[in-house]
């Protein structure tokens, strides 16, 4: 899978923008990590969760990837329920 499987139909402008940005990160690994997560959850995120997700999206791909794959410790200010949800989603075996 190399692109979104979710239509942006029915999403507000902010969620459409976040969905697009999730699939256009810069490195393919992060496209898949954030894109798949967005496909699955973008419609259900609260405004606060969306704020936290957008804040993560401002970081460099390599930094987020190292936190997700465990090669670096998550900075405390980003070790939020949203980050843990993103990491947990990508560690599931049954995708």
pLDDT bin (cut points 50, 70, 90) of residue 10 is confident
Arithmetic mean of pLDDT, 68-90: 94
Q: How does the average pLDDT of the chain come out, rounded?
A: 90
pLDDT digits (tens, 9 = 90+) for 32-50: 999 999 999 999 999 999 9
Arithmetic mean of pLDDT, 41-63: 95
pTM here is 0.87
Domains and CATH numbers, the chain: 13-91 (1.10.150.250)
Arithmetic mean of pLDDT, 19-34: 93
Contacts 24+ apart (CB under 8 A), 27-31: 27/61, 27/62, 27/65, 28/2, 29/61, 29/65, 30/61, 30/64, 30/65, 31/2
């Amino acid at each position: 899978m190399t692109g979104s499987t979710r239509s942006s139909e029915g999403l507000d402008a902010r969620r459409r923008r976040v969905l697009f940005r999730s699939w256009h990160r810069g490195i393919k690994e992060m496209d898949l990590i954030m894109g798949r997560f967005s496909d699955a959850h973008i419609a259900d995120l609260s405004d606060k969760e969306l704020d936290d997700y957008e804040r993560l999206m401002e970081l460099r791909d390599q930094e987020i990837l190292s936190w997700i794959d465990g090669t670096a410790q998550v900075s405390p200010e980003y070790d939020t329920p949203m980050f843990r949800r993103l990491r947990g989603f990508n560690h599931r075996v049954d995708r």
